[in-house]
Amino acid sequence: MAKRYSIKEMAELFAEEMGIDFNSYTVAEILDMGIEKIKSPKNHEIEEWIDNIKDDYKKLQVEMEPHIETTLKDKPVFDVLKKIWALQTVVTDEDVQEIALRFEGEFKDSRIKKKTNRKTGMKKETAQLYSKIQKQYYQLREQGKTQKETLNILSDKFNRTPQTLLKITKIK
């Protein structure tokens, strides 16, 4: 059975056969040059087949452009993906699960998770302020002040309404 080539591999073969540098032209341009070289009245089917492949490849390039830009920005993950892609050409006795485990660690190392706020969704400063308000509220209440007096004192001190302070102290 004949080996099946990808579009890129076919373009590389054309470039090598024609003696041109593969990196100097796009794949579509190389395929165009290859078509011109092999064109003859007997090869209408080949020309049509290559034209279809070329059109498909151009569409694919347009569709993949935003994904390629995103991938290139995420360099650590892109490097791991290149290693995985390189495994296609390597013959190995390594089990698929072992390969997955090997790259799992590299993917975890490449992802840097941003630090998030507390589970409450409050900023650290807000949480500290609320804690301070709650402590002073309970100290004033232990001194024998009424709830209304305590909330009015704290309202003046922290520039908050008594209703807000009541919610902060979780007293209803």
Q: What is the pLDDT of residues 81-139, one digit of tens each?
A: 777 767 766 666 777 777 777 777 776 666 655 566 556 667 888 888 888 999 999 99
In terms of C-beta density within 10 A (0-12 exposed, 13-18 middle, 19 or more buried), how is residue 150 classed? buried
Residues 32-75 pLDDT 10s: 887 777 665 555 666 677 778 888 888 888 888 877 777 666 66
Q: Assess contact for 47 and 64: CB atoms under 8 A.
A: no
- Write down the domain spans for the chain: 1-73, 74-112, 124-168
The structure's pTM equals: 0.32
